[in-house]
Amino acid sequence: MLDTEKIIQELFAYIDASPTAFHAVAEAAARLEAAGYEKLEKEAEAGIVPGGRYYMTRNDSSLIAFRIPKGEVRRFRIGAAHSDSPSFKVKETPEMGVEGHYIRLNTEGYGGMIQSTWLDRPLSVAGRVIVETENGPQTRLVNLDRDLCVIPNVAIHFNREINKGYAYNPQVDLLPLFAGAAGEEQEDGAEKAVTLAGLCAQELGIEEEKILASDLFLYNREKGRRMGAKGEFIGSPRLDDLQSAFGVLEGFLQAGQDDTETGCCAVYALFDNEEIGSGTKQGADSTFLSDVLDCVCDALSISGAKKRDILSESFLLSADNAHGVHPNHPEKSDPTNRPYLNGGIVLKFQGSQKYTTDAWSAAQVRSLCKKAGVPCQNFANRADIAGGSTLGNISSAHVSIPAADIGLAQLAMHSAFETAGALDTGYLIALCREYYA
């Protein structure tokens, strides 16, 4: 029996600890280490042995964990999700004064967001900074964990037509208000201008001059919550794709640790930059996954025909949330493939193979769902509506193994606050536990 409330609160805790992809990876790493996983600093690092549990990171924003069976490796079972969500990236030298009274932050869009949903919400800034140390540049994660910014709407009195539709200019309309123009008073009575770097330095307990560079993002500070007449829905920022990232990780950790009988090398992959096409060194369209699998095979003296045989028996389960039927716009969904919130695992299909599911891989997922006792439903785009893409086809182009794209049904994908089903995270955990076991 699934403990839905416990699962939801753990999901919210994971999302709350993950305002950026960097933090999502750090939180996943902490959970892995608590379960006995060892971090390998280099992808070619020796020391991988049968029965070992390891993980690697790339760019601080992607992570791959794997569990070596005690016996012979006969297959890889890979589950993948992504760590990033649409947001606003803070530009270099971001402070912008306005008439001597306000300071805004200069930002640019990251990913395909619903822009209007970011206005009039409590926002803050998080990410990573690179600091100068005696041992050279080092990374520090930072989260200015307070209500720091807001992107204020223009009053309806100044834009009477806004409810008829409005095209936001991201360089004008979507810059966050950061501070008043007054600075911090110094001991000599002079004022020092407030800067974002200064706040980051203060948070880290270092001098501002020690910060060499940064990757900082806005994030929505609203907390996750249950909603609906009977608490049947959940709402939270970053459900796409941290709901899947959390569910796959929990299934990975809960599955049996001794895979001697199955010969399964269980792999958990959390990729960055899916929202901007995955074409980075840490994205699904990189060598990260193939490099890690090569590292495992090299350490275990698996090469040539044996490695090809192992890959032929392997599988990739790509988890990225799916569009549920919208209560106000049911006509937007396909006539016959209509997933609903709390309807369970969503198998995603597309004729162009932007979703990599085919008949064989779909059959495998449906069989696993039956064994796990969880419902399964289908998603396909209407033929006259272009859909998005995800990790499955990109990853399987680098590691050519059977793959299926799945997700959990949600509403308002790419909004600053999204809605999903209260039961579905538990279904994903149960499926992945069965998959990895």
pLDDT at residue 141 in the model: 98
Mean pLDDT of 195-207: 96
pLDDT at residue 390 in the model: 84
Q: How many whole angstroms from its chain centre is CA 429? A: 16
Q: How many CB atoms lie within 10 A of CB 164?
A: 7
**From residue 77, how far is each of 33, 268, 270, 307, 424 by CA, in Å?**
20, 9, 14, 14, 22
- Residues 437, 311, 52, 141: what is their CA dihedral angle, to the nearest 10 degrees? -90
Task: Write the CB contacts of 219 (distance below 8 Å, at least 6 apart in sequence).
Answer: 19, 20, 87, 123, 124, 125, 126, 237, 238
For residue 43, pLDDT over 70 is answered with: no
44 pLDDT tier (thresholds 50, 70, 90):
low
- pLDDT > 90: percent of the chain: 86
Measured distance CA(88)–CA(80) in Å, rounded: 24
For residue 374, pLDDT over 90 is answered with: yes
pLDDT at residue 396 in the model: 85
For residue 259, pLDDT over 80 is answered with: no
For residue 186, pLDDT over 80 is answered with: no
Quick: pLDDT tens for 81-117.
999 999 999 999 999 999 999 999 999 999 999 999 9
47 pLDDT tier (thresholds 50, 70, 90):
confident
pLDDT at residue 176 in the model: 98
